[in-house]
Amino acid sequence: MASVPVYQVLKRLAPLPAMLLDSLLRGATFSRATCGSIGLVAGGAVLTGIGDRNFDAMANVLALASCVLQAFYLVLTSQARDRGFSA
């Protein structure tokens, strides 16, 4: 089981897959400053996750899967908004 702090740290990776998916699915482009800041946050999250003394690979995989699924949600809702769909 992942500790709550480690889970929160891994959730900080969410902007990275969101940015990648946004580029692939919507053709979005990002400035170097934006890419650099996202990379810095992601790198810090990875370093913190590696330092977890109670490392649980399955819990970390599930946390990362949660990040990717949240990224899909964010990008797909933006894509729906771009096409004029509303709830």
Question: Per the structure block, which two tokens stand in for 51?
Answer: 């330092």
State the average pLDDT over residues 43-52. 77
Tell me the average pLDDT across 58-76: 87
b (16+ CB within 10 A) / e for 25-58: eeeeeeeeeeeeebeeebeebeeebeebeeeeee
**Considering only CA atoms, which of 37, 35, 24, 34 is closest in space to residue 71?**
24
Sketch the domain layout of the chain as residue ranges.
Answer: 4-82
Question: What is the mean pLDDT of the segment spanning 60-74?
Answer: 87
Mean pLDDT, the chain, whole residue set: 84
Q: Is the pLDDT of residue 37 over 90?
A: yes
pLDDT above 70: residue 56: yes
Task: Count the residues in the chain.
Answer: 87
What pTM was computed for the model?
0.73
pLDDT reported for residue 31: 95
Residues 6-31: pLDDT tens digits?
Answer: 777 777 888 889 999 999 988 899 99
